[in-house]
Structure 1
Amino acid sequence: MILVFGGTTEGKKVAGMLEKHARPYYYSTKTLIDFEAGQYGQYRYGALTAGELQTFCRTQGIKAIVHASHPFAAVLHNTIYTAAQALSLPVFRFERQYPERQQHPLIVYLPSYQAAMDWLEQRPVARLLALTGVQTIAPLQRYWKQHTTIFRILPRDSSLALARAAGFPEEQLIMEMPGSDSQQEAALIRQYNIGAVLTKESGDSGFLSTKISAALENNIPIVIIERPVLPETFIPVTDEATLMTQINYLLP
């Protein structure tokens, strides 16, 4: 049995690969999502502590973990690492593709939200467009309390509830899905008179290249939070052939 942490485009890809190769697996997400397990899959949801994950792996006979969740799921990274080390389980990190970092005066990579707020406060703009997700409203509170900020969040009741709980003004929310059309993104920047964009290094699945293009077209800076560094014990894989070769070698 293989445990897949998903909730992403990559997670669904991994589930499809395991179905194709007739490998039994659990598909795990933090919150309930619309996921239909195939013939070989079972679905579970709910956050796990490291101890709970160890218990789950022992009970369900998990022999390997495929970590295909969001690159900014830092708590999950640590949980998986701790549990896998305790149980001596291999962890395959199914990684998304990332555009090569560009050297440009308007493209700024920073290591944390704290660093981003410091940078932005030293370079005031009329409005900031935050494309970092609803979970970052609370960590960025110091900035948006003092500076006009527009957050784009997913059009879900759960996302709106989180924004409300953080006390963020609803009139400064854009509730829509991100997309790959750089012209639409550029038009959004002009529509709201945006002076800078804040986003995460979320790779091609997170439309990072699109966001960069839209910011540069409008000649405004884009501040990008660098993705967290993963534990060295995670085995990186980026395609079906490599993942299945590794799994078949370790779990013949």
Structure 2
Amino acid sequence: MILVFGGTTEGKIVAGILEKHGRHYYYSTKTAIAFTPGPYGKYRSGALTAADLQTFCRAQDIKAIVHASHPFAAVLHNTIDTCARELALPVYRFERRYPERQSDALIRYVASYQEATEWLERHVQGTLLALTGVQTIAPLRHYWEKHHTIFRILPRESSLALARAAGFPVEQLIMEMPGSDLVLETALINTNHIRAILTKDSGESGFISTKIGAALANGIPIVIVERPALPESFIPVTDEASLMEALNRSSL
């Protein structure tokens, strides 16, 4: 049995690969999503502590973990690493594609949200468009309470509930899915008189190239928070061939 952590485009790709090759797996997400596994899969949802994960892996006789969740899921990275080390399980990190960094005065990479907001406070006047996700609304309170900010979040009731719980003004929310349409992204910037963008280095699955292109097209700065480092024990795989080669090498 293989345990797949998903909830992302990459997670669904992994599930499809395992179904294709007839490998039994559990597909796990933090929050419940609409996911219907095929004949070789099972689905579970809910956050897991390191102890919970160890108990689950023992009970389900998990032999390997494929970690395909979001690159900014730092807590999950550490939880998986702790469990895998304790149970001597291999962890295959199914990584998404990231574009090469562009060198431009309007593009700024930072190591943390704190560094991002400090730079924004010094260099930007006007409305900030935050494309960092609903989970970052509460941590960024110190900024948006003082500076007009619009958050784009997923059009889900659960996301709206989190925004409201954080006390964020509902009228400053844009509830829509991100996409690769540069024209629509540019229109969003113009319509809302955006003067800067804050986003995460979430790769092409997170439409980072489109976000950068829209910022450059509008002549406004984009601040990009770098993704957290992964544990050194994670084994990178990037496609069906490398994933199956790794699993076959482990006799899975």
| Amino acid paired to 2:192 | Y
Matching of residue 231 in structure 1 with residue 234 in structure 2:
no
| Residue equivalent to 1:198 | 198
| Residue equivalent to 1:27 | 27
Deviations 1:142-180 (A, max 9, x none): 000000000000111000000000000011000001010
Deviation at 1:124? Answer: 2.8
| Residue equivalent to 2:182 | 182
| Amino acid paired to 1:210 | T
Deviations 1:104-142 (A, max 9, x none): 100000011011011101113210000000000011110
**Alpha-carbon distance in 1 for matches of 2:19, 2:161:** 35
Q: How does 1:1-252 map to 2 (within 5 A)?
A: 1-252=1-252
**Alpha-carbon distance in 1 for matches of 2:65, 2:125:** 44
Count, aligned residues: 252
Deviations 1:189-227 (A, max 9, x none): 000000000000000000000000000000000000000
RMSD, aligned α-carbons: 0.6
| Amino acid paired to 1:110 | V
Moved over 6 A (4+): none
Deviation at 1:183? Answer: 1.1
**Alpha-carbon distance in 2 for matches of 1:171, 1:13:** 36
Q: TM-score, normalised by structure 2?
A: 0.99
Deviations 1:22-81 (A, max 9, x none): 000000000110000101000000000000100100110000000000000010000000
| Amino acid paired to 1:28 | S
**Alpha-carbon distance in 1 for matches of 2:22, 2:124:** 55
| Amino acid paired to 1:228 | P
**Alpha-carbon distance in 1 for matches of 2:217, 2:185:** 10
| Amino acid paired to 1:92 | Y
Identity value in percent: 72
Unaligned residue ranges in structure 1 (runs of 5+):
none
**Alpha-carbon distance in 1 for matches of 2:34, 2:124:** 41
Q: TM-score, normalised by structure 1?
A: 0.99
**Alpha-carbon distance in 1 for matches of 2:213, 2:119:** 21
**Alpha-carbon distance in 1 for matches of 2:229, 2:103:** 21
Deviation at 1:90? Answer: 0.2
**Alpha-carbon distance in 1 for matches of 2:125, 2:251:** 54
Unaligned residue ranges in structure 2 (runs of 5+):
none
| Amino acid paired to 2:12 | K
| Amino acid paired to 1:109 | Y
**Alpha-carbon distance in 2 for matches of 1:250, 1:167:** 48
